[in-house]
Structure 1
Amino acid sequence: MRRRLINSTLAVVLVVIAVFGISLVIVETRTIENSAQESVQSEVVRLVSIVDSRLAGHERVESGVLSDQITPDRYARVDIPGRPTIEIGTRPEGGVITATQKGEQGETVRVEESRATVSREIGRTLLVILAVALLAVIAAVFLAVRQANRLTAPLTDLAETAERLGSGDPRPRHRRYGVPELDRVADVLDASAERIARMLTAERRLAADASHQLRTPLTALSMRLEEITLTDDPETVKEEAMIALTQVERLTDVVQRLLTNSRDPQTGSAVTFDLDEVIKQQIEEWRPAARATGRAVVRSGKQGLRAVGTPGAVSQVLATLIENSLMHGDGTVALRTRVTGNQAVVEVSDEGPGVPVDLGSRVFERTVSGRNSTGLGLAVARDLAEADGGRLELLQQQPPVFALFLSREADQAD
């Protein structure tokens, strides 16, 4: 493209120079020739005037007197009736420019100039025109190269930006080039880069959330399957299988919930549900894991509460809090329910060292963890709670007390 821009610019300049140069040469040639003809004619008139005045005064007309009145390199001839012909200068050979004038005394004066003189003048003029044309071509080459670089460099840069986007590097470059059309393309590429970056971030976040959030239900499910393999009692197998199926359903709900939140975090499917049933389910699921470490999961507080939210999401939030207590805490894991205003509150606490002081205000941020974990659990749990119109807070750092606030059913009595 750069070569085509330079060639096209030079072609236009050369056409302009050719058109105007030829016209200028023709005009200048004619001007020089006309000027030479007028100069010779003017000299003839002057010589005729001198010869007339001398003949009228009966003075001698000689070549010595007239030679000072004629331009060098010109030839003059004076024919006076009854007198010898007077010649001044050397008669030119070849083409000449001539002018003849008859005087009042009957004399005839003829002046000739060689066309070689006029040709030299035309040649000098042509050299000047060619020099100017050459300078114009050089200037055109310089400007064409500069303009081509100004246009092709941004295009190359934009192509590199597009290639970077295609290779998975969505960082916008925010470069502008002072050319409205190219700047418009740069705006579109930067906007596309930002959209791709948001999409990649959302997908990475979904993958991280899914891997983390699926781990808890899968762990609980594997424990149930282990219980089934360790017993021969059909009733126990049946009971454990039913619990496992319930956990599979919750696992499916978690996946659907994560996909829904990845598309629109504000999209919820909140319903009125029995909060006691969800808490009971979680205690049953996590009791084997607590028993294996010599700990217990207990429940206290107000019962018979009905909250507004998504049961699967609430279960996942409570599962995350219980799992954190079992993994990072110590002693009994306690779930306590209470009412504050028009909200139902579920508090999860343990007897461990709690949350470090320096992490208290950042415990719900992604990648923030004090125990070499991923730091995603509490962040995802908070997102799930907020998607249902609730909230998850750290009420106390040592010993740790996390609280899940959910809206209550409008007509529920205290």
Structure 2
Amino acid sequence: MRRRLINSTLAVVLVVIAVFGVSLVLVETRTISSSAQESVDSEALGLVSIVDSRLMGGEPVGPDILGEQRRAGRYARIEIPGRAPIEVGTRSEGAVIRGTAEGKRGERVVVEEPRSAVTREVGRSLLIIGAVALVAVVAAVLLAVRQANRLASPLTDLAETAERLGSGDPRPRHRRYGVPELDRVADVLDSSAERIARMLTAERRLAADASHQLRTPLTALSMRLEEISVTDDLETVREEATIALAQVERLTDVVQRLLTNSRDPRTGSAVAFDLDEVVKQQIEEWRPAYRSAGRAIVRSGKTGMRAVGTPGAVAQVLAALIENSLMHGGGTVALRTRVTGNQAVVEVTDEGPGVPADLGARIFERAISGRNSTGIGLAVARDLAEADGGRLELVQLKPAVFALFLSREAATRRETKEHPRPVR
């Protein structure tokens, strides 16, 4: 590209120089020739005037007197009637420029100048014109190189940016070049880089969320299948199979929810649902894991409440909180349901050491964990809660108390208060 720009610029300059240079040479040659002819004619008239004056005054006319009035290098011939011609200077053998003049007494003066003198003058003018043209060509080449570099370097840089995008490095470079068209291309590439970065972040986030959210349901499903494989009781097999099918449905809901949130984390499908059913389902699902750890899980608070949200999403949030208590807490885990204003609240607490003060404000950030865990569960749980218009908060550090706030539907049956009871 640089070569093409330089060649095209140089071609334009050469054409301009050729057109105007030839015209200038013709005009200059004609001007010099005309000036020489006028000078010779003027000198002939001057000599005739001198001859007339001296003849009228009776003064002698000789070569020595006329030679003083002649321009060096020219030849003059004065013809006076009745006298021999007077010659001043040396007559040229080649082409000449001739000027003649006649006086009042019949005298005739001829002045000649060699054309070679005019040719030398034209040559000097041509040299000046050629030097100017050469300077113009050199200047044009330098400007062409500068302009080519100004255009080619940004294009090379933009090509490298596009190659970086294609190789998976979507960082925008935010470079501008002072050329509106190239700056617009740079703007588009930077915007594309930002979009690709968001897409890659969303894809990585989806993969991390999927691996985290599917782990617990798959573990619970495998436990149910193990129960089925070791029992010979047909009734137990049916019961475990029914629970396993419910967990398969939950897995499907988890996957659908993850895909929905990856496209738009604010897209929810909130409906009115029985909060007791979701809490009961979670307690039954986590009961084997707590039993294996030698711990208990209990529930208390109001019953018969209906909340507004997505049942599958609420179940995932509670599962994340229960799993968090299982991994990081201690003692009995309690799920307490209560009402505050027009909201239904589910609190999850345990008897463990609680959340360190330095992690309290950042507990819902991704990759933030008090132990060697992924730090994803609570962040995903908050996203799920907010997608349906609810919120998830850490309301107490020691012991840790997490509260899920949901919009509450008007009660359709009398809400009762239960005392804490362990689930066996």
- Does structure 1 residue 205 correspond to structure 2 residue 205? yes
Is residue 135 from structure 1 mapped to residue 135 from structure 2 by the alignment? Answer: yes
State the one-letter code of the partner of 2:373: S
Offset at 1:341? 1.1
Q: Is the 8 A contact 2:306 2:410 kept in 1?
A: no
The list of structure 1 runs, each at least 4 consecutive aligned residues, that deviate by more than 6 angstroms after superposition, is: none
Q: Is 2:55 the counterpart of 1:52?
A: no
Asked if the contact 2:282–2:318 (Cα under 8 Å) also holds between the matched residues in 1, the reply is yes
Per-residue deviation, 1:28: 0.4
Question: Shift of the alpha carbon at 1:241?
Answer: 0.9
The residue number in structure 2 matching 1:295 is 295
Give unpaired runs (5+ residues) of structure 2.
416-424
2:367, 2:374 within 8 Å by CA — same for their partners in 1? yes
Q: Which amino acid aligns with 2:159?
A: A
Structure 2 residue aligned with 1:268: 268
Match of 2:421 in 1: none
The more displaced of 219-228 and 350-359 is 219-228
Report the alpha carbon displacement of residue 254 of structure 1 after superposing the two structures with TM: 0.6
Provide the rounded CA distance (Å) in 2 between the counterparts of 1:309 and 1:65. 127
Query: Which residue number in structure 2 is paired with residue 308 of structure 1?
Result: 308
Q: Secondary structure at the match of 2:227?
A: helix
Which residue number in structure 1 is paired with residue 98 of structure 2?
A: 98
CA distances 1:285-313 after superposition (whole Å, capped 9, x unpaired): 11111111111111111111111111111
- Give the aligned residue type for 1:193: A
Task: Identify the residue that residue 236 of structure 1 maps to in structure 2.
Answer: 236
In 2, Cα distance between equivalents of 1:344 and 1:62: 137
- The structural deviation recorded for 1:410 is 2.9
Q: Give runs of aligned pairs for residues 147-158 of structure 1, distance below 5 A.
A: 147-158=147-158
1:195 Cα deviation from its structure 2 partner: 1.2
In structure 1, the partner of 2:251 is 251
Aligned mates of 1:59, 1:337 — CA distance in 2: 145
Question: Counterpart of 1:76?
Answer: 76
The answer as to 2:142 corresponding to 1:121 is no
Judge conservation of contact 2:306–2:411 (CA < 8 Å) in 1.
no
- The TM-score, its normalising length taken from structure 2, stands at 0.96
Contact 2:206 2:262 (C-alpha < 8 Å) held by counterparts = yes
Alignment correspondent of 1:379 = 379
Correspondence list, 1:183-198, <5 A: 183-198=183-198
SS state of the match for residue 117, structure 1?
helix
Secondary structure of 1:252's aligned partner: helix
SS in 1 for 2:345: strand
Q: Is the 8 A contact 2:6 2:145 kept in 1?
A: yes
Matched, 1:328 2:328: yes
1:176 paired to 2:205: no
Question: Who is 2:4 aligned against?
Answer: 4
2:38 is matched with which residue?
Answer: 38
Question: What is the identity, as a one-letter code, of the residue corresponding to 1:51?
Answer: V
Task: Determine which structure has greater relative contact order: mean sequence separation of CA pairs < 8 Å that are 6+ residues apart, divided by chain length.
Answer: 2
Deviation at 1:230, TM superposition (A): 2.3
Corresponding residue of 1:393: 393
1:411: Cα distance to partner? 4.7
**Residue deviations 1:256-313 (CA, integer Å, cap 9, x gap):** 0111111112211111111111111111111111111111111111111111111111
Partner of 1:406: 406
- SS across alignment from 2:410: coil
For the residues of structure 1 that align with 2:72 and 2:361, how far apart are their CA atoms?
Answer: 107
Count of aligned pairs between the two proteins: 414
* SS of corresponding position for 2:303: coil
Structure 2 counterparts to residues 345-360 of structure 1, below 5 A: 345-360=345-360
Residue 99 of structure 1 aligns to a residue whose secondary structure is: strand
| Aligned residues of 2:305 and 2:411 also touching (Cα < 8 A) | no
- Alpha-carbon RMSD: 1.0
Greater Cα shift, 272-281 or 129-138: 272-281
Q: Deviations over 1:175-206 (max 9, x none)?
A: 11111111111111111111111111111111
Indicate the residue corresponding to 2:226 in structure 1. 226
Distance 1:113 1:385 in 2: 109
Distance in 1 between residues matched to 2:213 and 2:301, nearest whole Å? 28
Rounded Cα–Cα distance in structure 1 between residues aligned with 2:42 and 2:410: 119
